[in-house]
Amino acid sequence: MSRTLASTVRTFAITGVATFAVLGVGHAAFGLWSDTSTVTVPAFQTGTVQFAAEPHPAGSDAKQFSTGTGERLANGTPVTVTLPGPEIAKVLDGPATWRFRVSGYAQGIAGMEYDISYSGAGKGTLLAGSTMRVFPAANGDCSAVPKNQPALTDQVLQEAGANTAGAQITEEWCVSIVWNYDPDGYHLNSVTATATGEDGSISSAYDEFGALISYPVSLDPFGIHTNTAFAEGTGEDGTLARAQDNFDAVLYPDPLLEPSVPISITPHVTNITD
C-alpha cells in the first residue's frame, strides 16, 4: 500500500496531538471551464486517524501519541516505548519477556502502517551477550519465539478503507531476551592410589569420575582485586611475631545498572486510491 497521500484529486494532512485530521477534496462539484482558467478547490474533512504505543502492562511510561509532522504528511512522528534495564537484567534468572502495545485507527479511505526500530546493545551489557527478538504476540502469547528476527517495517495495523467507523485497533508485541550461554563443559577427574603391604608387595588402584560444568549468566569482570592482610603480635617473652596473607576477589559490574533500550515506532497513513 502506498504511503503517498498527495494526488490530483485528494490531499491528506495530519494535525493534532492525539488525532490526525484526514482531508480530501471533492472533484464532482468543481471543474475547469477552459484551459486558461483556474479554480481553488477547498478541502473538507473526511475522517481522522490516530496512533499510539505503550508498555503492557502499562508501567511508568505514559501512553505516547503520534502527531503529524514535516512535508510528508503521510508520516506521523515516532513514538517511543522503553524497555527498562531491570527487565533486561531478568535474563540472569533465565529467558526474559517484555511486552508493548500499539493502537490506532484510520477512517474513510485511509489505512495505517508502522515501522519498529531500536538501537544495538552497548558493549559490556547483558543485552550485548544476549539474543533479543521483537515479534508480534500470537493471541497474546509470547512463548513461540522466532528463530530469526522477523521484519519490523511495513507492519499493517489497518488496511486502507477497512475501518469507516474508526474503531480502535490494538496489536500486542513481544520482546524476548535469551542469554547466549557458553556450552557446558565436562571435567574428568582421575585418582591413583598406591600402597605397600607388610610383605613389601605393592598394590595400586585407579579410578576416575566426571563432572559437568555449566557457565552462569555473567557480565565480563572488571578485573581481580587483591587483598593483603597483616597481623603482628608481641609474646609474653617480648618476642615479635608477624603474619601475612593474601586473597583475591573477582570484580563484576552491577547488572542492575543495565541501561534501558528505547524502541521507536513510526506510523504511516496509507491511501486506498494509490
| Amino acid 147: pLDDT | 93
- Kindly report the number of other CB atoms within 10 A of residue 25's CB atom: 16
pLDDT > 90: what percent of the chain?
36
* Grid cell of 67 as nine digits: 502527531
C-beta of residue 52 within 8 angstroms of C-beta of residue 66: yes
**Predicted local distance difference test score (pLDDT) of residue 47:** 62
pLDDT of residue 273: 67
Q: Which helix (H) or strand (E) holds 253?
A: none
For 156-187, b where at least 16 C-beta lie within 10 A, e where not — what string? ebbebbebeebeebebbbbbbbebeeeeeeee
Name the least confident of 16-30, 50-64, 205-219, 256-270: 16-30
Confidence tier at 146 by pLDDT (50, 70, 90): very high
Q: How far apart are CA 219 and CA 217, in angstroms?
A: 7
Question: What mean pLDDT comes out for the span 166-178?
Answer: 94
Pull the grid cell for residue 66: 503520534
pTM score above 0.85? no
CA–CA separation, 274 and 49 (whole Å): 18
pLDDT at 169: 94
**Would you place residue 181 in the very low, low, confident or very high pLDDT band (cuts 50, 70, 90)?**
confident
Q: Which of 98, 91, 87, 96 is nearest to 217 (CA)?
A: 91
Residue 209 has pLDDT above 90, yes or no: no
